[in-house]
């Protein structure tokens, strides 16, 4: 006997089985990812509350640790040493009150919130006092790159603070404690901005109590920008703590005996939250606006200046409210205001709306830009050698110029030393002599401009009507 073949399976049954298989796969994948990101294993809620309660107060050992870490961080900023700054952040207890603020808001714990807020203020006062005293009495106290980097907040600082806050509260909530808190302190960089604020306060004190010439630095941008960066980091660390405690780890809310206590707590927490949130909205708006301006400037320069980039010395954007100005500092006339209509269209296409353009020709050559031009000068020098060659070293005209270089300090006491550059600058197919001048250190701007006019007049008497003047420091 032959077996009858199986009847073909109904399409509806096949579709149902496929859907069931996908449902099982989706369910198993969901369980896997839940286990992957779950914070419940190892979560120690009572221990977290205890650790926050113990570390939120800036008293005793915490106060001493903060003073020492602020002093070390100030030394690192003054020495321009990232390694020293990182070492200071490793011992800083400044983050604990901020975690306490976020935790108190998340759990409706008025006592924790008020205590953390109060001791956070104490921590700020200790940090500012310590750093201000250091920078007021230090024999150095110059502006370094590490100081400047804490006066220009960007959107990246927001991301660093947000993820740093997440790492901080996750680390504190574990039964097995790790050393992630120091790492978070490094990432969010809470201390260096406060130290820079102290630097600004010290310079302000020098202006008030010191001689008139002791500090030529305007302290207020340092104070405002660095403290703004500190507030930005602090807020987003607290916000990350609030989100993790309230919605991810789901700590229980604190219960109160009566409605009045509960209402008062909610009012207090809401008021404190608004104080924290409202400035952050303004801060974020400024940060995003600044990032967009910088991106638009880079796009415009890259796409619309093209081959003329070699004539661009420097560029920057000055913003005041919703109005901005793009300033281009240029060599020669290749980038000219006569093409401003074309440039303005390019700026709009690059996203620089409500932005005006200012082109500033410069007669001085920054030595860094000068060295960048050397390779180009060398490439074209052979091709133009037959048309026009620089005078040989034994040429009487060059000897006359060398004698003039030695006499320039006699003609003007603003000049310490002068000499010819080893090459000449090519602008618009014309070789122009370059004079390197070392100026007197205490020179005023008016004296410098007067001395430049004297140098140009001396060359004009020798039928050299076009020269470039660059600054240099002799070894």
Cβ contact 253:266 at 8 Å? no
Beta bridge partner(s), residue 326:
317, 357
For the record, the structure tokens of 270 come out as 């809401």
* pLDDT value at residue 426: 47
Give domain limits for the chain. 45-255, 290-360, 367-471
- With tokens 């070699």, the residue in question is 310
Tokens of 190: 């809470």
245 close to 116: Cβ distance less than 8 angstroms: no
Q: Each residue of 301-313: b (16+ CB within 10 Å) or e?
A: beebbeeeeebbb
At 306 the pLDDT is: 77
The whole-number pLDDT of residue 132 equals: 95
Rounded to an integer, what distance in angstroms lies between the CA atom of residue 64 and that of residue 265? Answer: 32
N-terminal to C-terminal alpha carbon distance within the chain: 109
Fill in the DSSP letter of residue 417.
Answer: E
What pLDDT sits at residue 452?
84
Q: Would you state the CATH architecture of domain 45-255?
A: Up-down Bundle (1.20)
Return d(Cα 446, Cα 72) in angstroms, integer: 41
What pLDDT sits at residue 122? 94
pLDDT in tens, the chain (475 residues): 445 555 555 667 777 777 887 888 888 888 888 888 888 888 988 888 888 888 778 888 889 999 999 999 999 999 999 888 888 877 888 888 888 998 988 888 888 888 999 999 999 999 999 999 999 998 888 888 889 888 877 767 778 888 888 888 888 888 876 655 555 554 566 889 999 999 999 999 988 886 544 556 788 889 988 998 888 888 888 888 988 998 889 898 887 767 777 787 778 777 766 776 777 677 677 778 888 888 899 899 888 887 788 778 788 888 877 788 898 888 777 888 888 888 888 898 888 988 988 888 876 555 555 555 566 666 666 555 555 545 555 555 566 666 677 777 767 777 888 877 654 544 444 556 778 888 887 777 778 888 888 888 888 777 777 777 877 655 4
- Nearest alpha-carbon partner for 172 in 272, 3, 51, 271: 51
Element at 326 (helix H, strand E) = strand 323-330
Neighbour order of strands in the sheet with 355-361? 312-320, 323-330, 355-361
Two tokens, residue 338:
């006569």
Could you please report the per-residue DSSP string of 26-69? Answer: HHHHHHHHHHHH---TTB-HHHHHHHHHHHS---THHHHHHHHH
Q: Are 127 and 69 in contact (CB under 8 A)?
A: no
Pairing of β 425-427 and β 430-432: antiparallel
Given this chain, do its domains 45-255 and 290-360 carry the same CATH topology? no
In the prediction, which pLDDT does 382 show?
A: 59
How is domain 290-360 classified at the CATH fold level? GMP Synthetase; Chain A, domain 3 (3.30.300)
Rounded Cα distance, 49 and 52, in Å? 5
| Count of residues in the chain | 475
Structure tokens at 350: 């690059």
Contacts of 98 (CB under 8 A, 6+ apart): 116, 120, 165, 190, 234, 237, 238, 241
Helix (H), strand (E) counts: the chain: 16, 9
- Residue 364 contacts by C-beta under 8 Å, 6 or more apart in sequence? 468, 469, 470, 471
Question: What's the Cα-to-Cα distance from 287 to each of 153, 237, 290, rounded to whole Å?
Answer: 7, 17, 5
Structure-block tokens of residue 12: 């509806």
């Amino acid at each position: 006997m032959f077996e009858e073949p199986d009847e073909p399976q109904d399409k509806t049954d096949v579709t149902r089985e496929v859907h069931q298989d996908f449902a099982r796969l989706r369910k198993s994948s969901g369980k896997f990812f839940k286990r992957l990101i779950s914070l419940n294993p190892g979560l120690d809620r009572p221990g977290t509350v205890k650790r926050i309660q113990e570390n939120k107060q800036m008293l005793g050992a915490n106060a001493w640790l903060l003073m020492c870490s602020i002093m070390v961080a100030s030394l690192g900023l003054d020495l321009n040493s990232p390694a020293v700054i990182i070492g200071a952040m490793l011992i800083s207890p400044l983050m604990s009150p901020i975690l306490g603020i976020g935790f108190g808001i998340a759990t409706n714990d008025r006592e924790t919130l008020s205590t953390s807020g109060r001791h956070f203020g104490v921590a700020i006062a200790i940090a500012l006092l310590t750093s201000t005293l250091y920078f007021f009495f230090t024999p150095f106290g110059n502006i370094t790159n590490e100081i400047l980097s804490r006066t220009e907040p960007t959107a990246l600082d927001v991301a660093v603070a947000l993820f740093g806050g997440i790492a901080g509260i996750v680390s504190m909530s574990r039964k097995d404690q790790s050393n992630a808190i120091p790492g978070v302190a490094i990432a969010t960089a809470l201390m260096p901005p406060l130290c820079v604020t102290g630097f600004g306060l010290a310079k302000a004190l020098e202006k008030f109590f010191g001689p008139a010439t002791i500090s030529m630095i305007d302290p207020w941008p340092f104070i405002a920008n660095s403290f703004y960066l500190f507030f930005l980091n602090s807020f987003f660390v607290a916000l990350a703590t609030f989100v993790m405690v309230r919605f991810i780890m789901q700590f229980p809310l604190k219960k109160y005996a009566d409605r009045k206590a509960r209402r008062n707590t909610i009012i207090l927490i809401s008021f404190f939250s608004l104080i924290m949130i409202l400035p952050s909205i303004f801060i974020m708006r400024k940060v995003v606006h600044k990032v967009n301006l910088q991106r638009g400037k880079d796009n415009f320069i890259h796409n619309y200046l093209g081959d003329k980039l070699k004539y661009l010395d420097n560029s920057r954007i000055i913003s005041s409210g919703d109005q901005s100005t793009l300033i281009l500092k240029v060599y020669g006339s290749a980038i000219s205001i006569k093409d401003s209509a074309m440039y303005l269209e390019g700026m709009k296409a690059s996203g620089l709306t409500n932005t005006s353009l200012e082109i500033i020709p410069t007669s001085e050559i920054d030595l860094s830009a000068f060295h960048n031009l050397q390779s180009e000068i060398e490439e074209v020098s052979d091709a133009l050698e037959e048309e026009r060659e620089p005078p040989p070293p034994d040429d009487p005209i060059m000897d006359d110029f060398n004698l003039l270089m030695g006499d320039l300090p006699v003609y003007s006491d603003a000049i310490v030393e002068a000499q010819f550059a080893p090459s000449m600058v090519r602008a618009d197919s014309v070789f122009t002599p370059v004079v390197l001048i070392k100026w007197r250190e205490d020179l005023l701007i008016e004296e410098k401009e007067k001395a430049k006019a004297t140098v140009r007049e001396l060359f004009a008497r020798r039928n050299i009507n076009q020269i470039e003047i660059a600054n240099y420091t002799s070894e």
